[in-house]
Structure 1
Amino acid sequence: MPNEKPNVLVAEVPGVIPIVQEAWGECFALNFCTSMHEATKRLDDGADVIVCGTHFDESSMFDLLRLAKSLPRVRAVPFLCVRVLDGELDNTAFQGISIACCALGAAGFVDLNRWRREHGFVQAREMLRDLVFTLAAGPD
């Protein structure tokens, strides 16, 4: 029996959805939500990983993270915070957001623009995809 694709709940702004579909559509079973209302309903859908953009529902990423980590049935699901839009964050902002994400229980924070600068567009995309695969696989 072939392995099933990891189930990824993607909480993002509508404009990013086609980009995620193109980049990850063959790798993951993707479920999208663009509002806290939708996300709240989708948390029970059995995601292997939750990926949330910083701009989700008018910057509600931390709200969704707090909600997910407060629910016993979802608490163990890895939650990855990602910044895709706009330019790269400066070091102070990047560190502050990274610390806040981890303090609230996220698996991490990725500034994709930083990765693009450091590793190139294609490799940054592959690194993010591999990170989501690793999170979906769970602890060894």
Structure 2
Amino acid sequence: MRYRIVVAIRPEDAPLMREVMGDEFDLIVCTSLPEAQSSLTQEVHMIACGVHFDDGRMFDLLKYAKANEALRTIPFWGVLRDEGMLSSAITRGIRTAMKTLGANGLFNLSQMRTDEQPELLYKELRAALAQSLAANGASQP
């Protein structure tokens, strides 16, 4: 069995997220806030939400998840791929706001060095993610 992750992203980001996450997790890809909200159950082990999800509704999904007692313990990670378009101050501001609202943090895909063998980097990331989920007591279905 595998960990179940809700991935809330823009449609155009789905191929990259599938590549990053590989086949090692059960992904529930959502492209709208109502779709993501209806996908959140206690059987979900993590939420990965793009900063630009549903025209910037990442914070709405974060607030929804943290306000619901049955969902608030699910780890929530923001995902950013800005290709260097945002200043470090803006990125820090997003990260700070997310932490204040209860997110685990912000993962910036643009900071990953994928010039050579991105599949190895993604594999290491997936292994670290699985280890983190196991360490936090997420039981696989």
Same fold flag (TM > 0.5): yes
Q: Are 1:106 and 2:103 counterparts?
A: yes
Runs of 4+ in structure 1 off by over 4 angstroms are none
Partners of 2:85 and 2:130 lie apart in 1 by 24
Q: What's the CA shift for 1:101?
A: 0.8
Partners of 1:74 and 1:17 lie apart in 2 by 24
2:12 is the counterpart of 1:8? no
Q: Is the 8 A contact 1:10 1:33 kept in 2?
A: yes
2:35 matched to 1:38?
Answer: yes
Which of the residues 74, 79, 86 maps onto 1:77?
A: 74
**What is the aligned partner in structure 2 of residue 67 from structure 1?**
64
Q: State whether residues 42 and 70 of structure 2, in contact with CA within 8 Å, keep that contact through their aligned partners in structure 1.
A: no
Give 2:23's aligned residue: 26
Kept in 1: contact 2:46–2:74 (CA 8 A): yes
Identity within the alignment, %: 33
Report Cα offsets for 1:6-52 as digits up to 9, x if no partner. 10110011111122223323110111111011011111262100000
Alpha-carbon separation, structure 1, partners of 2:56 and 2:75: 19
**Gap runs ≥5 in structure 1:** none
- The aligned length equals 136
**Correspondences of 1:114-129 after superposition (within 5 Å):** 114-116=111-113, 122=118, 125-126=122-123, 128-129=125-126
Specify which structure has the higher proportion of helix: 1
- Conservation of the 8 A alpha-carbon contact between 1:87 and 1:113: yes
User: Which region of structure 1 is more displaced relative to structure 2, 85-94 or 30-39?
Assistant: 85-94
- Would the alpha carbon gap of residues 45 and 32 (structure 1) be closer, same or farther in structure 2, given more than 3 Å must change? farther
Of residues 39, 47, 54, the one that matches 1:57 is: 54
Using the alignment, how far apart are the partners of 2:60 and 2:18 within structure 1?
24
Offset at residue 121 of structure 1 (A): 6.9
Aligned match for 1:47, one of 19, 38, 44: 44
